[in-house]
Amino acid sequence: MNKLDRDAMAARVARDIPDGAYVNLGIGLPTLVADHLPEGREIVLHTENGLLGMGPRPAAGHEDPELINAGKRPVTTLPGASFFHHADSFAMMRGGHLDICVLGAFEVSVGGDLANWHTGKPDAIPAVGGAMDLAIGAKRVFVLMEALTKEGRPKLVRECAYPLTGRACVSRVYTDLATFDLRPDGVVARDLVEGLDIDALRRLVDLDLRAG
Partner 1 sequence: MIDKIVPTPEAAVEGIRDGATVLVGGFGTAGMPFALLDALIAQGATDLTIVSNNAGNGDAGLAALIAARRVRKVICSFPRQHDSWHFDRQYRAGEIELEVVPQGNLAERIRAAGAGIGAFFTPTGYGTLLAEGKETRTIDGRDYVLEYPIRADVALIKARAGDRHGNLVYAKTARNFGPIMASAAALTIAQVSEVVPLGALDPECVVTPGIFVSRVVVAHEATPPSW
CA distances 167 to 52, 90, 99, 141, 160, Å, are 27, 18, 19, 12, 10
Residue pair 182/111 in contact (Cβ under 8 Å)? The answer is: yes
Which segment (38-46, 82-90, 104-112, 190-198) binds partner 1 by CB under 8 A? 82-90
159 contacts partner 1 (rule: CB under 8 A): no
50 contacts partner 1 (rule: CB under 8 A): yes
61 contacts partner 1 (rule: CB under 8 A): no
Strand partners, 51: 47, 83
118 contacts partner 1 (rule: CB under 8 A): yes
28 contacts partner 1 (rule: CB under 8 A): no
Which segment (31-39, 97-105, 162-170, 196-204) binds partner 1 by CB under 8 A? 162-170
Beta carbon of residue 192, minimum distance to partner 1 (angstroms, whole number): 32
Exactly one of 48, 99, 107, 176 binds partner 1 (CB under 8 A); which one?
48
- 130/178 Cα distance (integer angstroms): 27
127 contacts partner 1 (rule: CB under 8 A): yes
CA-based nearest residue to 56, from 35, 41, 27, 38:
35
Beta carbon of residue 108, minimum distance to partner 1 (angstroms, whole number): 15
165 contacts partner 1 (rule: CB under 8 A): yes
Phi, psi of 74 (to 5 degrees): -70, 140
Residue pair 211/190 in contact (Cβ under 8 Å)? The answer is: yes
- 64/55 Cα distance (integer angstroms): 13
The binding site for partner 1 (CB under 8 A) comprises 47-51, 63-68, 72-74, 77, 83-87, 89-90, 93-94, 118, 123-133, 136-137, 163-167
